[in-house]
Structures are given as structure tokens and as C-alpha cells.
A and B are shown apart, each in its own frame.
Chain A
């Protein structure tokens, strides 16, 4: 479903943030990426989503090469790939429901959506996506009034409204309390197992990773150190991922 081949990123400053990353994620799989700050985890996700352009390599999402596309074709390919980040990134002034329905914008054409309106059928569907993340009673509230965990669930509902095949999550629980973090991880697990999404999640908590992931990828200095099933990764001494790199 998601295939990353020889993906590299060298910033204009000369710093190499990502070296020849290779991995595949199948539908229904939850892959968790571990690594210290600055190890290149976020760069990896941002390159996959084309928020930054990789210097080399290929990203195939549902058989489209994301790295080669531009303009309208890139937009169309992007609908297969949803991303959530540390903060919900919701439009705080709009209702929860409208925020969720915005996930469908990539599929909606026409003038009405360009003038800020959302079609009734998408708002209808948004109720269902909210129910999936147990926020159905909050649909009328302003998004700005949600708590951190609720906002993150709303962001996931928005990602679902996009009807993606691949879901990227960049430290989705970093600013949440432990209980809300568990909720989000359970939700991601369910989306992979039941809805057959390919989920790639960057985390800072190894214990969460081992409990929820199918596979764990360790990243250090921009390179993939290991890519193992969760049970095998757990036996590894992962503290080496977090030791300071040699000067």
C-alpha cells in the first residue's frame, strides 16, 4: 500500500536528514517509527506526504509515485494519504462537524466548495466519522472548545472523511495525558485492523509502540537501524537509538 524506496533528504544547508530509507507498509498494518529528536522521523513522514520534497527516492502510495506528481495530479494522489500531527490542526472557529467534512475537500469540486461551503451529503457522512471516534455528541461545538484528546480524535475523523488508504501520524499523542494517549493508540490500531488502513505512526514512547504496533522501525541519524515485528523489536536494546550520536 505504501512503498518507500531509497528515500533521501538533504537540506540546502548540507545536513542530511534522511539516508536511503526503504520500507513497505501493507494494508491493515500498523507500523510505528521510533527515534530520538532530530533522528529524521518527522522528515521521513513529511517527505512521504510531500510537505517537503525529497532529494532522492520514490514514495508509492496505492501505486501512484507521489514524488513525481505536481499540481492537480498531486492533489488527487494526496487524497489516498491522510496525515495527523501532534496538534489537531483544526480550524478552531468552525464547528467540529465542518472540520470533519473538510477532510473530503480533495474529492469535492465545484464553485460552492470554493466559496467556503460544504455539501450536505459530506456533512451527513461527517456524523458517521465522528461516531467512529466517539465524538458524535460534540458535532455542533466550535473545534476550539475541544480538549487535546478530543481535538486529536476530531483530526482523525477528518482524516477518515478523506477516505484514505494510508494514514500517517506524526507524534499524535505527544501533547496528551496517558489516558487520552491510550485512546488514540487504540483507535489507530482499530483503523489498521478493521478498516484495513496502512498506518505509519511516529512515537516517542517505546512501550506504546511495542504494545500496539505490528512492526517497529528504529531510526537513527536519518537511517533506518532496524525494521522488525514488534515482538522481536522488544527484545532489542533500543536504548542505542537514544544515545548521542558520535561526534
Chain B
């Protein structure tokens, strides 16, 4: 008994030694990570050429801009209704076309339901490519291809949506509970029957929710697409800016705000109903 107690006492200092070494190592590691994080943020500030003093020296210019932009020129409102509708419809067309093309790709690109592995890779490749090219770049490409106007805008939104929706859709399908699929396969149902009776009802509400959310995002991006000549409010904004019609610009910003908030509210309300 006694010898054991002594042995235990002797063991204690050694343990403390190991413990403090471990703690020192942990401290050094934390320090290194902190320094590295600060380094990363610092280089970002340098590369972006952050100069907060320009806000002060530029204060006069901004005040001038605000003075010239007020009050908003509401007499132009009637003229803006058509471009506003164009913007909404670009988002609507882009979302619907995107959903229609993303659905089959998502089915092929979901590991658990894909008919063949090569198709899975092809579908995932197309989806990733559509997503990795920004919608603004797609708009530039489509303006070159089909000319100015809302149509290239709609196409750009559609193609970019394929990328975003395709990925989310296939993730929803992959996360699906495979139990019902197995159960229906065992009843002797064909592949297509299993798909329409087990897969579709299980994932449809989530897909609809994602689609509605996408509409709301697409409305925002269709506003910007006008800058590269793809119609809608963005094009009006660009024109007004280059003609120094700042009161029209401020009107357009108000219209934009109303549209975006409206779309967000409506899509959120609809999503609550389907989920």
C-alpha cells in the first residue's frame, strides 16, 4: 500500500510536466493561427487599397450627388413601368426555364437515382459549369449571340439558374429516404413507376421551395443584367447614370427597392405554405 502511494506521488511531477508542455504547444498553435488570420485580413486591406480618408475628402461630392438626386423624379414613373415588368419577367422566365432544365439534370446527377454513372458525371459537369460562370458573364455572351434586349437577360438567368438549382435539387434527391424506393421496387413496380410514385412525392415540396427562393435571387440579378444591355430596369439605370439624370436614378432605386422587397415577401410567404 505504502509503496504504491509513494510511486503515485513520484509520478505526479512527470505528469504535470507533460501537461504544461501540451499547454504550451496549444498556446503556440493558437498564436500562429491568430497571426496567420491577421495576415490574411491585412493583405486583403492592402490589395483592395482601402482608404477610409477618401470618404471624408469625398464627402462634398457625395453631398452634391444626393442634392442633385433629390427629390426623385416621379414624373418618370410611368415610363419605368414597362422596364420594371421586363425585369420581373426576365426573372420569371429565367427561373421557369432554369427549373425545367435543372430537373432532368438533377435526376441524372443524383447518385442514388442516376441510371448510369457516366451520365452522373456528365450531368454534374454541366451543372457545375453553369454555376461557375457568373450570370453577368452569361448575359454578355448571350447579348453577343442574340442581340440586345430582355431575351439574352432571360437566357442568362436561366443558364445560371441551372447551375444553382441543379446542385441543390440533386442534393435534395440524394438526401432522400431510400426506404420507400426499396419498398416500391419490391412490389414489382418499374423504375419509372418507382420514380414517379416514391421519389417525386418525397422531394417535390423541397424542390418547389428552392425554386421560389431562386426566383427571388433571380429578380435581383436581372436588375444588374441590364448594365450589359440585357434590358429591364438595369438598362434604364445605366442610361440615367450616363446622362447624369440623378433624380431619375433615385426614382429607379426606389422602384428597385419595392420590387426586391415585394418578391422576397411573396416568395417567403409561398415557401411557408408549401413546406
Contacts and interface: CB of A to CB of B under 8 A. Distances in A.
B88 interface: no
Interface in B52-92: none
Interface in B133-191: 177, 179-180, 182-184, 186-190
A105 to B, nearest CB: 4
Contacts of A162: 187-188
Contacts of B201: 91, 93-94, 116
Contact of A89 (B179, B193, B197): B179
Interface string A111-129: 0011110100000000000
Contacts of A51: 182, 186
From B190, B197, B202, residue with most partner A Cβ within 10 Å:
B197
A51 B187 CA distance: 12
A94 B202 CA distance: 8
Given A51-B182, A87-B179, A115-B196, A75 B202 contact: no
Contacts of B204: 93
Interface stretch (A9-17, A77-85, A178-186): A77-85
A28 to B, nearest CB: 22
Nearest to A79: B188
Contact-residue size bin, chain B (C-beta under 8 Å from the other chain): 20 to 34
B200 interface: yes
A75 B189 contact: yes
A106 B191 CA distance: 11
Contacts of B189: 75, 102, 105-106
Interface in A32-52: 49, 51
Contacts of B190: 75, 105, 114
B205 interface: yes
B193 A91 contact: no
A155 interface: yes
A207 B194 CA distance: 37
Point out which of A81, A88, A92, A116 has the most chain B C-beta atoms below 10 A from its C-beta: A116
B205 A93 contact: yes
A105 B184 CA distance: 8
A91 B205 contact: no
Kindly name the residue among A91, A108, A113, A114 whose own CB sees the greatest number of chain B CB atoms within 10 A.
A91
A172 interface: no
Contacts of B179: 85, 87-89
A218 interface: no
Nearest to B189: A105
Given A75-B189, A102-B189, A116 B200 contact: yes
A103 interface: yes
B183 A75 contact: no
A90 interface: yes
A76 interface: yes
Given A114-B192, A116-B197, A92 B187 contact: no
A79 B187 contact: yes
A176 B192 CA distance: 33
A158 interface: yes
A105 B196 CA distance: 11
A69 to B, nearest CB: 11
A79 B188 CA distance: 5
Contact of B202 (A76, A93, A104, A106): A93
A155 B193 CA distance: 18
Given A106-B189, A114-B196, A116-B196, 19 more contacts: A51-B186, A79-B188, A81-B186, A82-B186, A83-B186, A89-B177, A89-B180, A90-B180, A91-B180, A92-B177, A93-B205, A102-B189, A102-B197, A104-B187, A105-B187, A105-B194, A107-B188, A114-B190, A162-B188
Interface of A: 49, 51, 75-79, 81-83, 85, 87-94, 102-108, 113-116, 118, 155, 158, 162
